[in-house]
């Protein structure tokens, strides 16, 4: 396989990227060598015009000014990715929150004029000149239970995203590369022992009933996410996709959904410390066996810019009936503590039986411990406000 080794700089920070020289299928077929072809340009112009006319509140609409658009629309990465490969999801889904994905790792540099302002906005101040801090899991034993009396929190979950070195992101992956990633993951997962020991279940061959039950029980990713489909992240589905979990379903790993890997620890109740301990153990064990894509400025690289850095989302499923009477107020409170409110089945879903998914929002520019602490403090405050009735 032809390998791609590239050193490039962003704001004096050197990026060293080594990966298979994959071509983004979409651009490769249509663009030929060196430039974005007229058909791609036409789709970009039309989609951009519709986006400007739409009532979209996405960050890509907010920051893709005409000057930036005209500067970036003619560019193509060495993988063959164009601006269209990055923003077509946001153009086809005006209700996107962000509206952009990195079609391959190089897009973060080549299209920095649109990625950087969106990253700074979403991660609440991570500037072009900022560098993500080194990994720091902190004093794990100091992390406690957000709801020791068990009055509000139903369950607690921590997840992170990882991309395997040597492979581009979803839109540029070939079918055999999905299988290669799955094989590397199943090899690594098969060596886990103790509480982490478990079994890998490929989506291929899984009955719809088993799949739906795993989704309904909040263990498995949803299928057919329209945002990911528009981003060309679901090709060859379900090839190479699957889920690993231990016997108690408290440690899980997703393979080839939005990212190459999602590592998840979850359990009933509010004991964030136990969930964190298991999560860190699992990540450390897998890091012994696999090489993940990471660089100095952004930390762990991911398909979506909202997940860069620690890539950690720590969440509770919680009932806050008093606060939920006024969703604007609940969201304002969440914003104040750098939290994000999602529906019961995750992002882009609604609350069922009054259960909300509340988690840290920012993942970049803080250490792992700071992200967990920020979520812990925010949830404790939310519970305090619910008890007080406002």
Residue ranges in contact with ligand DAR by CB under 6 A: 58, 96-99, 227, 258, 304, 306-307, 347
Q: Is 363 in the site for ligand ADP (CB under 6 A)?
A: no
Residue 317 labeled ligand binder: yes
In our burial notation (b when 16+ CB lie closer than 10 A, e otherwise), range 129-146 reads: ebbbeeeebbebeebebb
CA distances from 114 to 83, 98, 119, 186 (A): 10, 11, 9, 36
317 near ligand ADP, rule: CB under 6 A: yes
- Least spacing, CB of residue 25 vs ligand ADP, in Å: 25
The reply to whether 262 sits in an annotated binding site is: yes
| Contact partner at residue 304 from ligand ADP, ligand DAR, none, CB < 5 to 8 Å by partner kind | ligand DAR
User: How many residues contact ligand ADP, by CB under 6 A?
Assistant: 17
Q: Are 162 and 18 in contact (CB under 8 A)?
A: no
Q: Which stretch binds ligand ADP (CB under 6 A): 67-75, 243-251, 324-332, 341-349?
A: 341-349
Kind and range of the H or E run holding 177: helix 175-189
Residue 261 or 304: the one with the smaller Cβ distance to ligand DAR is 304
User: For 59, which DSSP code?
Assistant: H
Q: Write the DSSP string, 309-368.
A: BT--EEEEEEE-TTGGGSHHHHHHHHHHTTEEEEBTTBTT---BTTEEEEEE---SSS-H
Point out the residues that are catalytic. Answer: 159, 258, 262, 304, 306, 313, 342, 347
- 157 contacts ligand ADP (rule: CB under 6 A): yes
Could you say which of ligand ADP, ligand DAR, none residue 99 binds, taking C-beta under 5 to 8 angstroms by partner kind? ligand DAR
Q: Which residues bind ligand ADP (CB under 6 A)?
A: 155-157, 159, 218, 262, 266, 313, 315-317, 342, 344-347, 357
Binding annotation for ATP: 155-159, 218, 262, 313-317, 342-347
């Amino acid at each position: 396989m032809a390998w791609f080794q590239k050193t490039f700089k962003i704001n004096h920070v050197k990026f060293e990227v080594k990966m298979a020289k994959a071509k983004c299928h979409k651009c490769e077929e249509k663009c030929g060598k060196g430039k974005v072809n007229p058909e791609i340009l036409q789709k970009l112009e039309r989609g951009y015009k519709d986006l400007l006319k739409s009532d979209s509140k996405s960050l890509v609409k907010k920051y893709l000014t005409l000057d930036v658009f005209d500067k970036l629309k003619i560019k193509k990465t060495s993988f063959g990715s164009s601006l269209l490969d990055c923003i077509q999801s946001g153009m086809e889904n005006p209700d996107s929150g962000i509206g952009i994905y990195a079609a391959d790792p190089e897009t973060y540099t080549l299209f920095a004029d649109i990625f950087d302002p969106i990253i700074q906005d979403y991660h609440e101040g991570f500037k072009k000149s900022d560098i993500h801090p080194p990994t720091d899991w902190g004093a794990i034993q100091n992390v406690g239970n957000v709801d020791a009396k068990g009055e509000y929190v139903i369950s607690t979950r921590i997840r992170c995203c990882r991309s395997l070195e040597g492979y581009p992101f979803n839109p540029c992956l070939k079918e055999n590369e999905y299988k290669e990633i799955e094989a590397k993951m199943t090899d690594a997962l098969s060596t886990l022992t103790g509480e982490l020991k478990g079994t890998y279940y490929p989506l291929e061959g899984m009955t719809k009933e088993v799949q739906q039950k795993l989704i309904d029980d909040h263990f498995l990713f949803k299928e057919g996410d329209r945002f990911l489909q528009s981003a060309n992240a679901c090709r060859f589905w379900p090839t190479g996709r699957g889920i690993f979990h231990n016997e108690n379903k408290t440690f899980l790993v997703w393979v080839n959904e939005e990212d190459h890997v999602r590592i998840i620890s979850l359990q009933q109740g509010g004991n964030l410390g136990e969930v964190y301990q298991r999560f860190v153990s699992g990540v450390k064990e897998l890091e012994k066996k696999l090489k993940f894509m990471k660089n100095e400025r952004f930390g762990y690289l991911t398909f979506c810019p909202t997940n860069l850095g620690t890539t950690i989302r720590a969440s509770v499923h919680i009932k806050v009936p008093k606060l939920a009477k006024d969703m604007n107020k609940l969201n304002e409170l969440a914003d104040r503590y750098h939290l994000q409110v999602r529906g019961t089945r995750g992002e882009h879903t609604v609350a069922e039986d009054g259960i909300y998914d509340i988690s840290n929002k920012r993942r970049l520019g803080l250490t792992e411990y700071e992200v967990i602490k920020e979520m812990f403090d925010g949830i404790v405050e939310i519970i305090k406000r619910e008890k007080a009735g406002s």
